[in-house]
Amino acid sequence: MFTSSASGQELVPGTGFSSALELTPGSYTFALAPGEIHFFKIPLEPGDILVAKVRMASNQDFDLYLLNPIREIVGQSVRATGLTDAVEYTAVEKGPHYIVVLGFGDSSGVYSLTVSVIRPKTVTQTVTAVVTERVTETVTTHVFNTNTVVSEKLVTVFDTERVEVEKAPWTAAGLAILAAALLYTGHAATEALKSRYKQHTEEDKPASSTSV
């Protein structure tokens, strides 16, 4: 017994990796014959979380395996008879991941396979760019040429002849004594001249006649 697709086409499990039946998230019902192995695949993106569950009759024991795109086993469930097997895996690679269902021992019969994929939410991040404007300030220096004007002054120098009377410096006391001496000398000379003039005058007078 096989599951029909939405278009009415019967879905047949693959018998190997190359013929693995591609599935989309949902629930499917298949019949597993003794010694048979069913292969399925589902494309995943990095970060996708795949959850696969297999339910069987209480007297049957089916096992579940999950392999990555390079066919390495990345998950498995080998529970006891009648228990639901489940595998959860977060994809780290992009590509088809494989689901393998097989019976343990002589187990066979109908089973249901449920596949769900949880895709991480896309977070839109708004980046606000702060633009720093660099202002370059140009300083212009003006250089002025200055002319130094030198004024010329015509100076006429007259030579003055100096006659030194005496090299010895005169003090105030010496000058006073000199002045007194000059005054005294002048007075004495004056008196001498007067006396001499008087005498000379008297000698020049005619002799008076003598009364008889």
CB contact at 8 A, 102 and 44: no
- Give the model's pLDDT for residue 133: 61
Listed in sequence order, the residues at least 6 apart from 53 whose beta carbon sits closer than 8 Å to its beta carbon are 64, 84, 85, 86, 87, 113, 114
Alpha-carbon gap, residue 211 to 51, rounded angstroms: 199
Q: Is the pLDDT of residue 93 over 70?
A: yes
CB contact at 8 A, 49 and 117: yes
- Give the model's pLDDT for residue 210: 45
pTM > 0.85: no
Residue 61 confidence class, pLDDT cut points 50, 70, 90: very high
CB contact at 8 A, 38 and 115: no
- Give the model's pLDDT for residue 209: 46
Q: Which string of b and e fits 114-135 if b means at least 16 CB within 10 Å?
A: ebebeeeeeeeeeeeeeeeeee
Give me 135's structure tokens: 């202002």
CB contact at 8 A, 82 and 61: yes
Fold adopted by 21-118: Jelly Rolls (2.60.120)
CB contact at 8 A, 104 and 63: yes
Is residue 110 within a helix (H) or strand (E), and if so which, with residue range?
strand 109-118
Q: Which of 46-55, 121-130, 199-208 shows the lowest mean pLDDT across its residues?
A: 199-208
Measured over the CA atoms of residue 107, residue 108, residue 112 and residue 118, the dihedral's sign is positive
Q: Outline where DSSP puts E strands in 45-108.
A: 49-56, 62-67, 73-77, 85-90, 95-103
Residue 124 confidence class, pLDDT cut points 50, 70, 90: low
- Give the model's pLDDT for residue 46: 96
Looking at residues 101-105, what average pLDDT do you find? 94
* pLDDT mean across residues, the chain: 77
Q: What are residue 109's phi and psi, to 5 degrees?
A: 125, -165
CB atoms within 10 A of CB 93: 14
